[in-house]
């Protein structure tokens, strides 16, 4: 049996990669992928704990997360497509009209 | 059924509002006159029903609904038709109807034709509410309603600054009086426990001692309200300025109906005033003083409508004089006859103004008798009636007032009234002679457009002229047990009914004062008094003829001889200027100080201070809003990390 720490470490690593991706990348698609990475890191942690606790709850949660993520992708990609139509670019720092 | 009388004019207002200009001028005229005509018919029917009742039960009560009930305080919207309100309701609807008809001709070319009749109908609703109310609060609703309509109609031609100013003046001066009315009403409620006439008058003799300070103050406050509405000293100044309104308005509101509301109110509260002899004395003195004061100003005015306005103030003074000396029915009698002849005179003046293309200055009239035959005839009837020459209406009522003053021992009031009667005859014939006789002094343009008024204006004049001639015959003097008019009002004014039973018994002094004092004066004295009042009127008329027709140079000579007096009269004793200095300007200055300091510095300071603070804070805060998604994401991450650290440590 694999110790709990391993999948958790992997999860933490993936999450950190996701966070850094969101913070440093300017391409909206890449940022979006990074967000997905963070969601999947959380999923991994859920599954790991579910296995450790011998409980199905964590796995059920993962399905919920995946469903929500799928919906979110649909909305998010629609926004990005529209942003591209408007500006011919998906660079988020070019969409800065909301500055104070 | 009673409620329909005020409801009909209100219905006219509603229809006019809903249908708007789709009615057209003809439709508007028919609607406005129709509802008032119907109200008059209903009023006649109701009064006939009232007259059919036995004398002691002559009062029709009608409760519409309960207005409010708060603890012990309960007020119904209720109407009352008794002999007093019957006289008022007939005068208001009858004269009102004639003036409505007249207005269809007078206002025919006005672009705001519909608005005019809308206000006029609204006024009729308020006035009928006032006279038909069964308690003080409903009366007050009507009281304020007529004040509002008066304001709206004085300022009807609101683009003219003087008209707008006059409207404001009337409204504000009336507010002073209304303040007194409210305080008086509340005092009565606080001590009497009710605002319903019958109940209040029933408990009044038991609650208020005869001549006690409370009832004196309460009635004086009510009288203050009356001086505002009925243009008595010291609050009369608004009425002459109110002549800025269209002439039918001056006839309806500022001569025949609204200004008599104060007289009606005091007459209605006679049971209370009888408990306060001091107040009655004040009413008599103020009335007499106003009658003389306004008459002297009327001597020197050159604007035809202003002469009539001061005449109205003066005649209202006579009415209060009558109330003050306890001759209540004489006061109401004069109210009625005055409504006839003063409405006639105003409408006649309107006809002259109409014919002369809006010329109001008597100095640019003259010789109109042959040019405006019908206006001339009817105006002459009105002039003789107000001068007090028998057998026209004014003689009977004025004589009854003077007789009442003499019989009750108010010799000073009587003498002032007599002098006033002479002045009245003089200034009215001055007006008549300057306008209709003598050489024509018309401007070329007025001469060119000169025309007699249309039938819609002449017919009301003729009807009113007939009423001015015969209207007094229902109250001839020297009748055994009082004349017909007196007997009609007896159930109200004899202290035997309407809840003030026992007043006469409990206070014999007031009972004697209230009862008509005809029995105290012998026949011979009465005839001498009558001859005297006719005599002074004849002297006044003779002097007017001498000064303004036979020898006009004499008038000019007199003017130069008494230049100071003439200037004082012409400038209305500078009362407006005095009021301006002691009331208007200090208030204006204080308001200015409040505006500049309190409003701008304190109130606006707080409001603007909040704004400035927020602006300063946000100037710093906005620096965080860069518009870059990356920055937001960084803050977000740092926030999550901070939270994470926080929970990790605990």
pLDDT tens per residue across span B555-571: 788 778 888 888 877 78
Residue B39 pLDDT exceeds 90: yes
B627 closest CB neighbour out of A19, A26, A98: A98
Is A92's CB within 8 Å of B628's CB?
yes
Please return the burial class of B439, using the count of CB atoms within 10 Å of its CB with bins 0-12, 13-18 and 19+.
Answer: exposed
For chain A, helix, strand, coil in percent to 5 are 80, 0, 20
User: Which of B443, B263, B451 has its CA nearest to residue B339?
Assistant: B263
Q: Coil, strand or helix: which one is B455? A: helix
The per-residue pLDDT for range A45-56, each reduced to its tens digit, is 999 999 988 889
B74 phi/psi in degrees, rounded to 5: -140, 135
Question: Exposed, middle or buried by CB within 10 Å (0-12, 13-18, 19+), for B576?
Answer: middle
B625 contacts A98? CB cut-off 8 A: yes
User: If pLDDT is split at 50, 70 and 90, which confidence band does B481 have?
Assistant: low
SS3 of A91, please? Answer: strand
Tell me the C-alpha distance between B288 and B296, whole Å: 13
| Chain B interface includes A31 (CB < 8 A) | yes
B71-122 confidence digits (pLDDT tens):
777 888 999 998 999 999 999 999 999 999 999 988 888 888 889 999 999 9
Q: What is the pLDDT of residues B253-309, one digit of tens each?
A: 888 889 999 999 999 998 888 888 899 999 999 999 999 999 998 888 888 999 999
Higher-confidence residue of B113 and B509: namely B113
Question: Can you give the pTM of this predicted structure?
Answer: 0.78
% of chain B with per-residue pLDDT over 90: 35
What is this model's ipTM? 0.81
**Residue of B624, B625, B630 with shortest CB distance to A92:** B630
Helices B455-470 and B83-106: angle between axes, nearest 10 degrees: 150
Looking at chain A, which residue has its C-alpha nearest residue B620?
Answer: A100
Q: Which residue of B has its CA nearest to A97?
A: B627
Q: What is the 3-state secondary structure (H, E, C) of B130-176?
A: HHHECEHHHHHHHHHHHHHHHHHHHCCCCCCHHHHHHHHHHHHHHHH
Q: What is the mean pLDDT of residues B324-337?
A: 89
Residue B572 has pLDDT above 70, yes or no: yes
Is 90 exceeded by the pLDDT of residue A94? no
- Measured in residues, chain B has a length of 650
Closest CA to B397 of B105, B91, B631, B158: B91
CATH fold of A5-89: Helix Hairpins (1.10.287)
Average pLDDT over residues B352-357: 86
| For chain A, domain boundaries | 5-89
- What are phi and psi for residue B195, nearest 5 degrees? -115, 0
Chain A CA closest to residue B619: A100
Smallest CA-to-CA distance from B283 within B249, B239, B327 is with B327
Alpha-helical segments (H) within B242-392: 247-251, 261-268, 270-273, 277-298, 304-324, 328-355, 373-387
pLDDT at B511 over 70: no
In chain B, which residues have their Cβ closer than 8 Å to the Cβ of A96?
626-628
Predicted confidence at residue B606, as pLDDT, reads: 94
Q: Which pLDDT does position A100 carry in this prediction?
A: 60
Whether A93 sits inside 8 A of B622 (CB atoms) is no
Nearest CA in chain B to A94: B628
Instruction: Verify cis geometry, omega within 30 degrees of 0, for the bond prior to B234.
Output: yes
Q: Is A96 on the interface with B (CB under 8 A)?
A: yes
pLDDT band per the 50, 70, 90 thresholds, residue B612: very high
Subunit contact A99:B628, Cβ cutoff 8 A: yes
The percent of residues above 70 in pLDDT, for chain B, comes to: 95
Question: What span, in angstroms and rounded, lies between the C-alpha atoms of B370 and B149?
Answer: 37
């Amino acid at each position: 049996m694999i110790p709990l720490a391993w999948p958790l470490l992997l999860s933490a690593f993936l999450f950190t990669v996701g966070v850094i991706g969101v913070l440093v990348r300017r391409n909206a698609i890449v940022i979006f992928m990074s967000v997905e990475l963070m969601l999947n890191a959380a999923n991994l942690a859920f599954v790991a704990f579910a296995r450790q606790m011998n409980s199905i709850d964590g796995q059920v949660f993962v399905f919920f997360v995946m469903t929500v993520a799928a919906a979110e992708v649909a909305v998010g990609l629609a926004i990005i497509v529209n942003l591209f139509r408007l500006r011919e670019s998906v660079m988020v720092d070019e969409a800065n009209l909301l500055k104070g | 059924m009673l409620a329909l009388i005020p409801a009909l004019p209100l219905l006219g207002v509603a229809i006019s509002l809903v249908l708007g200009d789709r009615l057209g001028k003809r439709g508007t005229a028919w609607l406005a006159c129709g509802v008032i005509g119907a109200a008059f018919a209903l009023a006649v029917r109701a009064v006939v029903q009232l007259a059919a009742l036995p004398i002691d039960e002559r009062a029709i009560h009608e409760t519409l609904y309960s207005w409010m009930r708060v603890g012990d305080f309960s007020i119904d919207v209720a109407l009352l038709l008794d002999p007093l309100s019957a006289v008022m309701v007939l005068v208001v609807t009858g004269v009102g109807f004639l003036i409505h008809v007249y207005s269809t001709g007078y206002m025919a070319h006005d672009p705001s034709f519909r608005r005019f009749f809308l206000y006029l109908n609204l006024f009729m609703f308020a006035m009928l509410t006032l006279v038909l109310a069964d308690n003080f609060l409903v009366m007050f609703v009507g009281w304020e309603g007529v004040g509002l309509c008066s304001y709206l109609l004085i300022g009807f031609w609101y683009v003219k600054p003087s008209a707008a100013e006059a409207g404001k003046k009337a409204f504000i001066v009336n507010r002073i009086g209304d303040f007194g009315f409210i305080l008086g009403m509340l005092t009565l409620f606080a001590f009497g426990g009710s605002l319903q006439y019958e109940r209040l008058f029933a408990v009044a003799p038991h609650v208020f001692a005869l001549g006690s300070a409370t009832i004196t103050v309460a009635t004086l406050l009510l009288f203050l309200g009356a001086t505002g509405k009925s243009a008595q000293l010291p609050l009369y100044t608004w009425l002459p300025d109110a002549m800025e309104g269209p002439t039918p308005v001056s006839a309806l509101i500022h001569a025949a109906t609204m200004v008599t509301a104060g007289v009606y109110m005091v007459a209605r509260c006679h049971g209370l005033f009888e408990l306060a002899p001091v107040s009655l004395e004040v009413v008599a003195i103020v009335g007499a003083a106003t009658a003389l004061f306004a008459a002297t100003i009327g001597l020197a005015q050159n604007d035809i409508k202003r002469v009539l306005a001061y005449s109205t103030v003066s005649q209202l003074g006579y009415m209060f004089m009558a109330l003050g000396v306890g001759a209540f029915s004489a006061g109401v009698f004069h109210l009625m006859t005055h409504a006839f002849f003063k409405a006639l005179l105003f409408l006649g003046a309107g006809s002259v103004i109409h014919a002369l293309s809006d010329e109001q200055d008597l100095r640019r009239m003259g010789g109109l008798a042959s040019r405006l035959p019908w206006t001339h005839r009817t105006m002459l009837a009105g002039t003789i009636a107000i001068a007090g020459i028998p057998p026209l209406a004014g003689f009977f009522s004025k004589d009854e007032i003077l007789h009442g003053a003499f019989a009750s021992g108010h010799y000073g009031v009587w003498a002032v009234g007599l002098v006033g009667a002479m002045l009245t005859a003089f200034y009215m014939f001055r007006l008549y002679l300057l306008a209709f006789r003598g050489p024509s002094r018309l401007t070329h343009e007025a001469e060119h457009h000169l025309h007699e008024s249309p039938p819609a204006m002449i017919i009301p004049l003729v009807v009113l002229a007939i009423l001015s001639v015969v209207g007094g015959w229902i109250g001839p003097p020297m009748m055994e047990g009082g004349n017909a008019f007196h007997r009609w009002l007896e159930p109200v004014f004899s202290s035997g009914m309407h809840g003030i039973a026992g007043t006469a018994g409990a206070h014999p002094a007031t009972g004697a004062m209230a009862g008509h004092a005809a029995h105290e004066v012998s026949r011979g004295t009465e005839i001498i008094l009558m001859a005297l009042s006719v005599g002074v009127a004849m002297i006044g008329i003779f002097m007017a003829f001498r000064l303004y027709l036979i020898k006009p140079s004499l008038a000019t000579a007199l003017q130069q001889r008494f230049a100071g007096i003439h200037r004082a009269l012409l400038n209305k004793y500078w009362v407006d200027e005095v009021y301006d200095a002691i009331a208007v300007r200090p208030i204006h200055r204080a308001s200015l100080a409040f505006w500049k300091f309190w409003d701008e510095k304190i109130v606006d300071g707080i409001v603007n201070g909040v704004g400035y603070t927020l602006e300063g804070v946000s100037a710093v805060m906005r620096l965080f809003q860069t518009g870059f998604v990356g920055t937001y994401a960084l803050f977000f991450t740092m926030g999550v990390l901070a939270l994470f650290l926080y929970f990790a440590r605990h």
